[in-house]
Amino acid sequence: MKKIFEIVTRDASSRARAGVIHTAHGPVETPVFMPVGTQGAIKALLWEDMEKLGVQIVLGNTYHLYLRPGLDVIEKAGGLHGFCGWKNAILTDSGGYQVFSLEQLRKITEEGVEFRSHIDGSAHFFTPENVIETQRKLGSDIVMCFDECPPYPSEEAQARRAVEITTRWAKRCKASRLNDGQLLYGITQGSIYPNLRLESAQQLIDMDFHGYAIGGLAVGEPQPMMHETIERSTEILPENKPRYLMGVGTPEDLWRAVELGIDQFDCVLPTRNGRNGQLFTSEGKINIRNAPYRFDFSPPDPACDCELCARYSRAYLHHLFRAGELGALRLASLHNVAFLIKLLRQIRQSIIDGNFQQHKQRFLSKYLALEERIS
């Protein structure tokens, strides 16, 4: 039997590692950034764009897909892969993060969460069992446990209750049926409390999941606290299982988290920023809507070869944004997703080549210089 997770190379200077996750829809080379396809589409983009970028895995949102188009449609289409026409791997979240965000619209019990749809107000009930069943029907390659994600800041008592229910729910998820080949990840909680993070991780490790996610971060806590929590978590999460940091992030955070031993990331940042005109570039973050770009006929990122940068100028993209042209949203989103996909590919290669630290320094000194000049 093929191993689910192989480590190809370990960085000598840090916890960074280059690996491969073998999924039912092909290999996923790690560390990896997973573009977010909330409603069965990467916002402003299409599946052929993901193929052209060589994307091996994307994320889909159980909460959104369950509500619309609904499981009846997706099942008839042969699962989320068939519905979307996407052939590589899909990770689906459990909907926990979304239903806990519906503060006015939900009621939590030991059994599960009752909530009202943000679309039409209809009542629904998510339990660990039916959330796993939904992901079974979606046919995702990596299935996430149903967890409680508390807000930041949370009192320790509140964070503790979230850890406890997350562990009990994880047991019920683990006992639920999945299809052959579907992988199941546990999600650790514990806010920023090291003792809670340790307990949460230990309890999940004891259940032996295929992989482990760090949930409840990137929800507003200061960056050093996030990094500290990642560091404490990867100290105990098993070496031989993939580690997934949910909802991160920025190029700076991605370098740091890989250094701390994280393998998988997802974030809406590249598409959300793209729709606002913010571009990641090798020289730092820029907002293309700003006046100086009106006459700037250079490529948005001179070091990039994406569909935007290979063909269009900053001045043209600036104009499309100012004129409200939809193509602007596509081009900027495409560039940002390509930027993070390629960034993680470079990071992985630097681990394999044994020069992770040099690459990190070189990237960040160039990337952060602009921000420091501006601020």
Binding footprint of its own copies on the chain (CB under 8 A): 39-48, 64, 68-69, 72-73, 76-77, 83-85, 294-295, 297, 307, 311-313, 315-316, 318-320, 322-323, 325-327, 329-331
- Among the options 11, 93, 253, 301, which is catalytic? 93
For its own copies, the closer of residues 4 and 77 by Cβ is 77
Q: In angstroms, what is the minimal distance from the CB of 192 to its own copies?
A: 35
Find, among 76, 200, 94, the residue nearest to 140 by Cα. Answer: 94
11 is a catalytic site residue: no
Dist. CA 246–CA 101, nearest whole Å: 15
Report whether the peptide linkage leading into residue 31 is cis, meaning its omega lies within 30 degrees of zero: yes
Q: In angstroms, what is the minimal distance from the CB of 235 to its own copies?
A: 40
The type of residue at 11 is D
Q: In angstroms, what is the minimal distance from the CB of 270 to its own copies?
A: 14
Answer for the pair 337, 275: CB distance below 8 angstroms, yes or no: no
Answer for the pair 279, 293: CB distance below 8 angstroms, yes or no: no
For its own copies, the closer of residues 41 and 268 by Cβ is 41
The type of residue at 362 is R
72 is a catalytic site residue: no
For its own copies, the closer of residues 171 and 289 by Cβ is 289
Q: In angstroms, what is the minimal distance from the CB of 28 to its own copies?
A: 23
Q: In angstroms, what is the minimal distance from the CB of 126 to its own copies?
A: 20
For its own copies, the closer of residues 19 and 299 by Cβ is 299
Dist. CA 18–CA 30, nearest whole Å: 6
Q: CA-CA distances (angstroms) from residue 18 to 32, 35, 239, 275, 348?
A: 9, 19, 12, 31, 6
For its own copies, the closer of residues 116 and 322 by Cβ is 322
Dist. CA 66–CA 18, nearest whole Å: 34
Tokens of 266: 């997802």
Q: In angstroms, what is the minimal distance from the CB of 65 to its own copies?
A: 9
> Could you tell me how far CA 37 lies from the centroid of its own chain?
10
For its own copies, the closer of residues 119 and 374 by Cβ is 119
For its own copies, the closer of residues 123 and 323 by Cβ is 323
- Among the options 49, 141, 263, 266, which is catalytic? 266
Dist. CA 210–CA 13, nearest whole Å: 26
Tokens of 13: 């200077």
**Following DSSP, what letter does each residue of 168-227 receive, concatenated?**
HHHHHHHTS---TT-EEEEEE--TT-HHHHHHHHHHHHHH--SEEEE-S-SSS--HHHHH
**Following DSSP, what letter does each residue of 324-365 receive, concatenated?**
T-HHHHHHHHHHHHHHHHHHHHHHHHHHHHT-HHHHHHHHHH
DSSP state of 39: T
Q: In angstroms, what is the minimal distance from the CB of 195 to its own copies?
A: 42
Catalytic residues: 93, 266
